[in-house]
Each structure stands twice: as structure tokens, then as C-alpha cells.
Amino acid sequence: DVELDPVSEENSVTDVLGKVGAGQADAGIVYVTDIARGDGKVEQVDLDGADKVINKYPAATVKASENQEQADAFVKFLGSDTAQKLLRDAGFAAV
């Protein structure tokens, strides 16, 4: 079992990874996609039930956009096989 007794609360993932990577903290909680930014200085430990916590990142366009055609094309691209592979390779999963 793990007990939470935070010594500090950082304002950003970069700060959390920096503290853990420098040995100033025993552990930190970040998204799995952030682990790759740890320059190999941090180790990923999966927590039971973490796979049940899903953050959704919706994509939409702004009706009044000056670049509506490009915005629509980008949102359409996000659903493509190419974009889905890029997202998976970066640690994201399609829901």
C-alpha cells in the first residue's frame, strides 16, 4: 500500500518530473505520456485502477475561425489512421 503524505505540490508536470529525476522526491504522479519527457531519469510504476481514469481530449473548431477550412481539415486528420498511430506512439489511446 502507498500512503499519500505530500511534501510539496508542484505547479507543472515538468516540476514534478524534475524533482523526482533529481532525487528531491521519492515519487510523483504524472500522466503516462509525460514519462517519456523524463529523459530516462524516472521509472514508470503502474497503479492499480489507473486504467479506469480516462481523460478525454475533444477536438472542435470555432465557427468564427479565420482558417475554418484548415481547422476542419485538422480535426478530420485527427481521426485518420496516421494521426491515430502518431497519438498511440505518443502514449495516447483512442476512446
Q: What pLDDT, on the 0 to 100 scale, is given for residue 60?
A: 94
Q: Does 87 score more than 80 pLDDT?
A: yes
List pLDDT tens digits, range 20-77. Answer: 989 998 888 888 888 876 678 888 888 888 878 888 889 999 989 999 999 999 999 9
How many Cβ atoms sit within 10 Å of the Cβ of residue 38? 19
CA-based torsion, 50, 83, 89, 35: positive or negative? negative
pLDDT band at 95 (very low <50, low <70, confident <90, very high): low
Beta-carbon-side half-sphere exposure of residue 44 (alpha carbons within 13 Å)? 15
Quick one: DSSP state of residue 79?
A: T
Q: What pLDDT, on the 0 to 100 scale, is given for residue 35?
A: 84
